[in-house]
């Protein structure tokens, strides 16, 4: 356990070169001793996490052993392909573009999603866009509730709280995106005899912000131990293009642009990082609040939310559970 | 069956697979890991269906929904037109 002395944003400062070297040595060791595949496939979203994961993989294995997959669909942000292309070019890696709109159409995603939205907004249809947002956990002591934000063809936005069934239907349908992307990652990994590198950072990994058997699936997760602020530090060191480093984190999952702090985390990542660090190191809420510019009560609520998310998403991390242990090693 | 027993039965059947274990009327759903945010949505859907009680945004608070006792008091309060928590929907 660390003491609270000296808690400040500086606790997340790392030596990028040393950390990059440490991660790369570990990637090589894992590939050689456990994974035993010739390279890695990395899904590139144009975001910071996948860019850093790809850059570390290149540094660890060589650019000829890394393939970037770009998998946009109808709802992807316009700049997604452009940014992922820039990363791939900067790293000098081979890429493959798989537009997943056709697969999503075949499994009925768009129809299922729209039908679920129409359970609460009957007029939802062509020309509309939408996203899910959560209530602010740090604002007041309330249970998290989920809201649907819609935007009609005239750009008029409306917000409605989601009851159970439409919420479940919307999330279930949307999870197709992450699972289809992962299916394609493994297709390319298998045909190349490569492994799949997952891209979660510590916030996402710890707080269960991933889809089981979707973006949660991978053979190695090189940055799962890094706070998001640390991922940005590595990004700068690794030469990730400025446009990507200065872009606001987004889920790029819904047809309306959605920040990660709107959907899952209660605060912007810089503050969430510090709260998670503080929680992990038993920093009293009063001390953390002073550094974060929040009220102690708000920090206590975020701590409680961190604990709740850990508890409620624990099953996402678990392998299939057996009735009794089966020895296989 | 009174409201408290009905709610207790709902919680036991839906979240505990019929095994009440150590659930008391005051057990915190959240602290004991019985109900997560999706579970709260299930509970709210049940209250709306069974008692025609609409739960407003500002009523989605632990004081109203975090134990059998609290939910029962909340429902009774709403039925009598004076919810335990803030808000005026329902």
Q: How large is the average pLDDT for residues A208-235? A: 97
Q: Is residue A135 part of a domain?
A: no
**What pTM did the predictor assign?**
0.90
Q: Is residue A55 part of a domain?
A: yes
Q: Is residue A142 part of a domain?
A: no
Residue B88: the pLDDT is: 40
SS3 A247: coil
Residue A254 predicted with pLDDT over 90: no
Q: Is residue B90 part of a domain?
A: no
Q: Is residue A299 part of a domain?
A: yes
Structural domain including B30 reads 3-13+24-79
Structural domain including A174 reads 9-106+168-314
Q: Is residue A290 part of a domain?
A: yes
Q: Is residue A129 part of a domain?
A: no
**Band of residue A75 on the pLDDT scale cut at 50, 70, 90:** confident
Tens-digit pLDDT profile for residues A5-17:
589 999 999 999 9
Supply the CATH number for residue B31's domain: 1.10.1200.10
Q: Is residue B50 part of a domain?
A: yes
A276 contact partners, CB below 8 Å, separation of at least 6: A202, A203, A206, A207, A227, A306
Tens-digit pLDDT profile for residues A121-130:
999 999 999 9
Q: Which of A145, A146, A312 is nearest residue B36 as measured by Cβ atoms?
A: A312
Residue A141: the pLDDT is: 66
State the ipTM, two decimals. 0.83
Indicate yes or no: CB of B37 within 8 angstroms of CB of A144.
yes
CA dist., res. A212 & res. B66, Å (int):
28
A94 contact partners, CB below 8 Å, separation of at least 6: A66, A67, A68, A88
Q: Is residue B35 part of a domain?
A: yes
SS3 A39: coil
Tens-digit pLDDT profile for residues A223-240:
999 999 999 999 999 999
A55 contact partners, CB below 8 Å, separation of at least 6: A87, A91, A234, A235, A238, A239, A240
Residue A139: the pLDDT is: 60
Supply the CATH number for residue A175's domain: 3.40.50.620
Which of B31, B36, B65, B58 has the alpha carbon at shortest distance from A136? Answer: B58
Tens-digit pLDDT profile for residues B34-77:
888 889 999 999 999 999 999 998 899 999 999 999 999 999 99
Q: Is residue A54 part of a domain?
A: yes
Which residues of chain A make contact with B57, given a CB cutoff of 8 A?
135, 142, 145, 161
Does A8 touch chain B if contact means CB atoms closer than 8 Å? no
Q: Can you give the three-state secondary structure of A88-144, one letter per residue?
A: HHHHCCEEEECCCHHHHHHCCHHHHHHHHHHCCCCCCCCCCEEEEEECCCCCCCCCC
What are the DSSP calls for A284-316, one per residue?
Answer: -HHHHHHHHTS-HHHHHHHHHHHHHHHHHTHHH
What are the DSSP calls for A155-200, one per residue?
Answer: --EEEEEPPHHHHHHHHHHHHHHHHHHHHHHHHHHHHHT-EEE---
CA dihedral over B65, B67, B73, B76, signed as positive or negative: positive
Does A36 touch chain B if contact means CB atoms closer than 8 Å? no
Q: How many domains does chain B have?
A: 1
Indicate yes or no: CB of A141 within 8 angstroms of CB of B61.
yes
Q: Which of B33, B45, B61 is nearest residue A143 as measured by Cβ atoms?
A: B61
More confident residue, A4 or A177: A177
Q: Is residue B28 part of a domain?
A: yes
Q: Is residue A321 part of a domain?
A: no
Q: How many domains does chain A have?
A: 1
Q: Is residue B84 part of a domain?
A: no
């Amino acid at each position: 356990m660390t003491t609270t002395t000296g808690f400040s944003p500086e606790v997340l400062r790392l030596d990028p070169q040393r950390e990059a070297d440490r991660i790369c040595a570990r990637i090589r060791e894992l590939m050689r001793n456990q994974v035993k595949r010739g390279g890695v496939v990395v899904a590139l979203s144009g975001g910071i996490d996948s860019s850093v994961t790809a850059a570390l993989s290149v540094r660890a294995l060589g650019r000829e052993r890394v393939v970037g997959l770009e998998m946009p669909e109808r709802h992807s942000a316009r700049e997604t392909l452009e940014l992922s292309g820039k990363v791939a070019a900067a790293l000098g890696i081979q890429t493959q573009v798989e537009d997943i709109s056709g697969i999503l159409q075949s499994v009925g995603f768009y129809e299922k999603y729209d039908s679920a939205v129409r359970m609460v907004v009957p007029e939802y249809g062509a020309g509309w866009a939408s996203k899910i947002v959560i209530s602010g956990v740090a604002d007041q002591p309330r249970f998290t509730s989920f809201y649907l934000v819609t935007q009609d063809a005239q750009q008029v936005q409306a917000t409605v709280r989601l009851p159970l069934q439409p919420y479940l239907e919307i999330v279930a349908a949307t999870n197709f995106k992450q699972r289809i992307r992962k299916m394609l990652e493994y297709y390319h990994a298998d045909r190349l005899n490569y492994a799949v590198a997952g891209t979660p950072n510590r916030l996402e990994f710890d707080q269960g912000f991933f889809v089981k058997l979707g973006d949660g699936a991978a053979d190695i997760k090189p940055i799962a131990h890094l706070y998001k602020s640390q991922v940005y530090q590595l990004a700068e060191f690794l030469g990730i293009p400025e446009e990507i480093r200065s872009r606001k984190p987004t889920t790029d999952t819904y047809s309306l642009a959605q920040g990660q702090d709107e959907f899952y985390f209660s605060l912007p990542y810089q503050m969430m990082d510090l709260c998670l660090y503080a929680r992990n190191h038993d920093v009293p809420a009063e001390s953390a609040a002073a550094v974060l510019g929040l009220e102690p009560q708000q920090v206590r609520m975020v701590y409680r939310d961190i604990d709740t998310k850990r508890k409620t998403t624990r099953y996402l991390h678990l392998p299939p559970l057996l009735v009794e242990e089966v020895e296989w090693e | 069956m009174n409201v408290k027993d009905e709610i207790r039965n709902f919680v036991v059947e839906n979240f505990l697979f019929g095994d009440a274990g150590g659930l008391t009327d005051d057990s915190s759903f959240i602290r004991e890991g019985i109900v997560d945010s999706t579970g709260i949505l299930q509970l709210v859907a049940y209250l709306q269906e069974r008692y025609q009680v609409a739960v407003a945004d500002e009523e989605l608070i632990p004081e109203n929904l975090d134990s059998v006792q609290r939910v029962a008091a909340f429902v009774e309060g709403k039925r009598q037109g004076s919810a335990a928590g803030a808000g005026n929907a329902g």
